């Protein structure tokens, strides 16, 4: 049955009007500026229009030189978002959806997810998408490579905003490509989130250590020591004030031994000494729990009851690879006790390891906060960060093995946020550690 030409013209005319109104509503500046210039040109001639255009351009340039951040926030990123929307995403949307399998064809009719909004900032494009009815987040997370290459970026991440609505993040550049020098030691004692590096969006990376446990996994040379030493560095003033104690277990004798003078004698390298130190931490925890029972439910650090952070550099050597069959269950039991009962009374554990398999570290699920540096296999990403983390963009197996590019780069998944974030810890050199020991060794 043929559709009358008049009906076809009415339908296309209606679609044009709707698209025009939607464009004006979403991009009022981008549409009103050329419309106003065209009206002035038509009404008063091109010289006045050109003069006004020049004044506007000079004013914007002056604004850029005077206050670049406010210009970028109010004008620059909006213009870039409009340009990226028109030149990249809307232009290639249908072809990418069809090729990747996210667009559907039912009874001869095509259905496409709707591109709702594009936002830009200093490092990435953020695309809000309305999924088709019946689609799941996994349908999109399984196709992050298709989406990234389809829109000309190196990676893509998928996050759920609410039912039926997704956020796609396409990085345009990598703010974490260069190593970060050691951060200054804080002026005031603090046990709050410790600044240890930078997030991918340029914001400071602050790691919560009090009231949680942290598992750090990464291959050899991935930069696990950066997270350990940055944490120590951020807690030095609190250690000097008596509000924090760091107990160090260093079975490799290569990482934490360099600053053993900072640990007030709470340092162990021999497996038997490590077991004794863990048992002592369990004893401290249990005595506090007995005193706090019925009085308080959370720990507030004081000189009498400081926050105790147990650092374990290579925990797998003390558990899975320990040849002494009597020490192995003893150490595993102590770690399990600390990670299940310690944070409420101010005893935390930060453990680092290379191999995150369950048979190597069978209590990894007892660590609320997890950090994955460069890993050897894609399956290991979900072992560390939880099921589905890699599908949502935590590509820890693709971090560069070149130290200048990838050392200290990691994906972090916190207890308070299920979405993994990409971060880089600052590099604490041997000279920085010597300076820490010289300044805080005796006082700490």
116 annotated ligand-binding residue? no
Indicate whether 381 and 302 sit together in one domain. Answer: yes
220 annotated ligand-binding residue? yes
pLDDT higher than 80, residue 31: no
Residue 397: per-residue pLDDT: 92
Residue 1: per-residue pLDDT: 65
225 annotated ligand-binding residue? yes
Indicate whether 106 and 234 sit together in one domain. Answer: no
Indicate whether 223 and 128 sit together in one domain. Answer: no
Residue 307: per-residue pLDDT: 94
Indicate whether 422 and 375 sit together in one domain. Answer: yes
Average pLDDT over residues 63-79: 86
Indicate whether 126 and 209 sit together in one domain. Answer: no
Alpha helices in 142-270 (DSSP H): 144-150, 224-240
pLDDT higher than 90, residue 107: no
222 annotated ligand-binding residue? yes
Quickly count: other Cβ atoms within 10 Å of residue 134's Cβ. 8
pLDDT higher than 90, residue 362: no
Of the chain, the percentage scoring pLDDT greater than 90 comes to 48
Residue 294: per-residue pLDDT: 77
Indicate whether 62 and 206 sit together in one domain. Answer: no
Average pLDDT over residues 159-174: 90
122 annotated ligand-binding residue? no
- The CATH number of the domain holding residue 414 is 3.40.50.300
Torsion angle of the four alpha carbons 224, 229, 234, 238, in this order, in degrees rounded to the nearest 10:
120
**Residue ranges of E strands in 57-150:** 104-106, 109-111, 114-120, 124-130
Indicate whether 264 and 371 sit together in one domain. Answer: yes
Contact 194, 223 (CB under 8 A): no
Indicate whether 213 and 75 sit together in one domain. Answer: no
**How many domains are there within the chain?**
2
Residue 239 confidence class, pLDDT cut points 50, 70, 90? very high
What confidence tens digit (pLDDT) does each residue in 190-233 have?
887 999 999 988 889 999 999 999 999 999 889 999 999 999 99
pLDDT higher than 70, residue 443: no
- The CATH number of the domain holding residue 89 is 3.30.980.40
Average pLDDT over residues 265-282: 92
CA distances from 346 to 63, 110, 197, 265, 303 (A): 50, 58, 24, 20, 12
pLDDT higher than 60, residue 444: no
pLDDT higher than 70, residue 143: yes
Residue 210: per-residue pLDDT: 93
Residue 154: per-residue pLDDT: 85
Most confident of 60-74, 293-307, 370-384: 370-384
Distance CA 371, CA 382 (A): 11
Burial group, residue 430, by CB count within 10 angstroms (0-12, 13-18, 19+): exposed
pLDDT higher than 50, residue 303: yes
208 annotated ligand-binding residue? no
Of the chain, the percentage scoring pLDDT greater than 70 comes to 98
197 annotated ligand-binding residue? no
Residue 369: per-residue pLDDT: 94
Average pLDDT over residues 226-245: 94
Domain holding 317, by residue range, is 193-442
- The H or E element that residue 337 is part of is helix 327-341
Indicate whether 200 and 154 sit together in one domain. Answer: no
Indicate whether 92 and 163 sit together in one domain. Answer: yes
pLDDT higher than 90, residue 15: no
pLDDT higher than 60, residue 442: no
- The residue written with tokens 């720990």 in the block is 299
Indicate whether 199 and 270 sit together in one domain. Answer: yes
Of 210-224, 364-378, 429-443, least confident by mean pLDDT is 429-443
Q: What DSSP letter does each residue of 13-46 carry, written as one string? A: HHHHHHHHHHHHHH-HHHHHHHHHHHHHHHHH-H
Residue 208: per-residue pLDDT: 92
């Amino acid at each position: 049955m043929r559709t009358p030409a008049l009906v076809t013209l009415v339908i296309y005319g209606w679609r044009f009007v709707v698209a025009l109104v939607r464009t004006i509503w979403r991009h009022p500046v981008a549409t009103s500026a050329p419309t106003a210039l065209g009206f002035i040109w038509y009404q008063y001639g091109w010289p006045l229009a050109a003069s006004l255009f020049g004044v506007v351009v000079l004013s914007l340039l002056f604004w850029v030189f005077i206050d670049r951040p406010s210009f970028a926030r109010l004008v620059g990123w909006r213009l870039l978002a409009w340009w990226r929307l028109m030149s990249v995403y809307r232009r290639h949307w249908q072809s990418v959806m069809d090729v990747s399998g996210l667009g559907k064809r039912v009874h001869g009719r095509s259905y496409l997810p709707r591109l709702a909004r594009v936002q830009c900032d200093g490092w990435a494009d953020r695309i809000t998408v309305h999924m088709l009815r019946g689609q799941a987040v996994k349908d999109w997370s399984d196709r992050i490579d298709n989406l990234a290459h389809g829109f000309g970026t190196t990676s893509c991440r998928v996050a759920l905003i609410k039912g039926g609505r997704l956020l796609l993040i396409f990085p345009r550049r990598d703010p974490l490509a260069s190593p970060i020098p050691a951060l200054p030691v804080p002026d005031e004692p603090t046990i709050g989130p410790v600044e240890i590096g930078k997030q991918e969006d340029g914001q400071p990376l602050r790691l919560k250590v009090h009231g949680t446990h942290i598992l750090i996994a990464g291959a050899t040379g991935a930069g696990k020591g950066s997270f350990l030493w940055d944490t120590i560095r951020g807690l030095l003033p609190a250690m000097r004030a008596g509000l924090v104690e760091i107990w160090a277990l260093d079975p490799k004798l290569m990482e934490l031994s360099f600053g053993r003078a900072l640990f007030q004698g709470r340092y162990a390298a021999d497996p038997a000494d490590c077991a004794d130190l863990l048992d002592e931490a369990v004893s401290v925890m249990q005595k506090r729990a007995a005193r706090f029972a019925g009085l308080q439910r959370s720990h507030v650090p004081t000189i009498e009851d400081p926050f105790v952070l147990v650092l374990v550099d290579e925990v797998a050597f003390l558990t899975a690879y320990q040849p002494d069959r009597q020490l192995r269950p003893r150490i595993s039991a102590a770690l399990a006790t600390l990670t299940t009962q310690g944070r409420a009374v101010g005893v935390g554990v930060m453990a680092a390891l290379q191999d995150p398999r369950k048979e190597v570290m069978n209590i990894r699920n007892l660590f609320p906060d997890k950090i994955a540096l460069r890993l050897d296999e894609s399956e290991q990403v979900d072992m560390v960060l939880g099921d589905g983390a890699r599908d949502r963009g935590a590509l820890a197996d693709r971090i560069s093995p070149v130290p200048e590019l990838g050392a200290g780069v990691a994906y972090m998944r916190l207890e308070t946020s299920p979405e993994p974030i990409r971060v880089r810890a600052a590099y604490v050199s041997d000279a920085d550690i010597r300076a820490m020991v010289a300044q805080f060794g005796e006082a700490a």
